[in-house]
Amino acid sequence: MTGVLVVVPTYDEVDNLEPILERLHASVPDAHALVVDDGSPDGTGELADRLAARDPRVHVLRRTAKTGLGPAYVAGFRWGRARGYDVLVEMDADGSHHPEQLPGLLGALDGADLVLGSRYVPGGRVEDWPAHRLLLSRAGNLWTRWALRLPLADATGGYRVARGALVDRLPFDDVASQGYCFQVDWAWRAVRAGARVVEIPITFTERTFGRSKMSGSIVGEALVRVTWWGLQDRLADWLPGRVRRPVPERVRGGGRSSTVR
């Protein structure tokens, strides 16, 4: 496996960025990191530039405005593929995703196109969340699984590893989701495209510094979009040729594949 790029979106993560990059490089010394900063007013972008000047494994993509998690990751994916990285990793900057678990996710890519770090398969867990937030997350994943007929326990998680070839196959120009619904959107596209998807248990920990980016509007976007996509998909079954599927099936290489490990 060559050319691992960890895409780390940031907005006001000045207290978290350096420690998470240190942990990343202690865990996977050969990995490169791309910090995609959306114009953080707290100086995160300037810190990222200083870290990149000291370490050739750190790169920075500065953007002028906060446009959401989805566009930040898409920009990072495109930056990485244009420079020949074969493996792309999504990882939060706030420490909720443990870099120490990344070697296991990378190892699972030997038999997969997309590896999801899952909180809700056996062995996965969430630490330091209040009960109402854990209930909301679990309920959201159950609804997503049913509405989209998506065989994944944790489609909303943001710690994942993908082959560059899969990223090239998926039509990210069509991904309209701005917030955390982006994770559902592109996992669904991968499954429908016939990608080999596996879920690996992880421990998710609430951030230590700063405030969560989760908000009522983000939750609302996810609920509305998932419900509408599921309805469209079922209408396409009931009214073939009259209703367009939100995500078409482009099965290649033997059909859908999804595995939980």
Using CA atoms, how far apart are residues 115 and 106, in angstroms rounded to an integer? 8
Q: What is the pLDDT of residue 96?
A: 94
The top-level CATH class assigned to 4-212 is: alpha beta
Q: Which residues have CB under 8 Å from 227's CB, separation 6+? A: 143, 147
Q: Is the dihedral of CA 203, 206, 209, 213 positive or negative?
A: positive
Least Cα distance to 136 among 97, 103, 74, 180 occurs for: 180
Number of CB atoms found within 10 A of residue 179's CB: 19
pLDDT in tens, 231-261: 999 998 888 888 788 876 654 333 344 444 4
Least Cα distance to 182 among 67, 17, 40 occurs for: 67
Q: Which residues have CB under 8 Å from 39's CB, separation 6+? A: 11, 45, 62, 63, 64, 65, 66
**pLDDT < 50 regions, the chain:** 1, 251-261
Number of CB atoms found within 10 A of residue 130's CB: 9
Q: What is the pLDDT of residue 40?
A: 94
User: Residue ranges of the domains in the chain?
Assistant: 4-212
Q: What is the pLDDT of residue 217?
A: 64
Q: Let me know: does 153 contact 260? Beta carbons within 8 Å.
A: yes
Q: Which residues have CB under 8 Å from 211's CB, separation 6+? A: none
Q: Is the dihedral of CA 73, 79, 81, 85 positive or negative?
A: negative
